Amino acid sequence: MDCVFCRIAAGSLAADVVYSDEDFLVFRDIHPLAPVHDVLIPKRHIPSVNGLTDADRALAGKMLLAAKKVAEQEGLAEKGYRLCINCGPDGTQAVPHLHLHILGGRLLSAELG
């Protein structure tokens, strides 16, 4: 298992976990770009958004609802937060495992990248 996120999901690599359920694990980013910067991953390996299929529709919807739950748990819901999914090299996806960044805790720049 050479996917770092799969190792975190399996519990063989430590992470500062903030949320876990049957399908997802959320942990603090080790290089935060905001006061709150969490990473939400599906526990099942999916390489990127491009790896999603029609059979993953429910999982994709649950992913957004899990992100909302974490944002509420982290105290971000009232003032706002950003959800970001990078896809592929030009999208700056650093780890080839689908993941969603949850950022907040301050006014975020409108610029991307």
Instruction: Tell me how far apart the alpha carbons of residues 61 and 22 are, in angstroms, rounded to a whole number.
Output: 14
Percent of the chain scored above 70 by pLDDT?
97
DSSP labels for 41-82?
EESS---SGGG--GGGHHHHHHHHHHHHHHHHHTT-TTT-EE
Q: Which two tokens stand for residue 39?
A: 């990473």
Return the CATH architecture of domain 4-104.
2-Layer Sandwich (3.30)
Mean pLDDT, range 48-72, rounded to an integer: 98
Q: The whole model's pTM is what?
A: 0.95
Q: Which of 37, 45, 97, 99 is catalytic?
A: 99
Residues present in the chain in total: 113
Tens-digit pLDDT profile for residues 3-37:
999 999 999 999 999 999 999 999 999 999 999 99
| Tally of CB atoms within 10 A around 69 | 16
Q: Is 101 a catalytic residue?
A: no
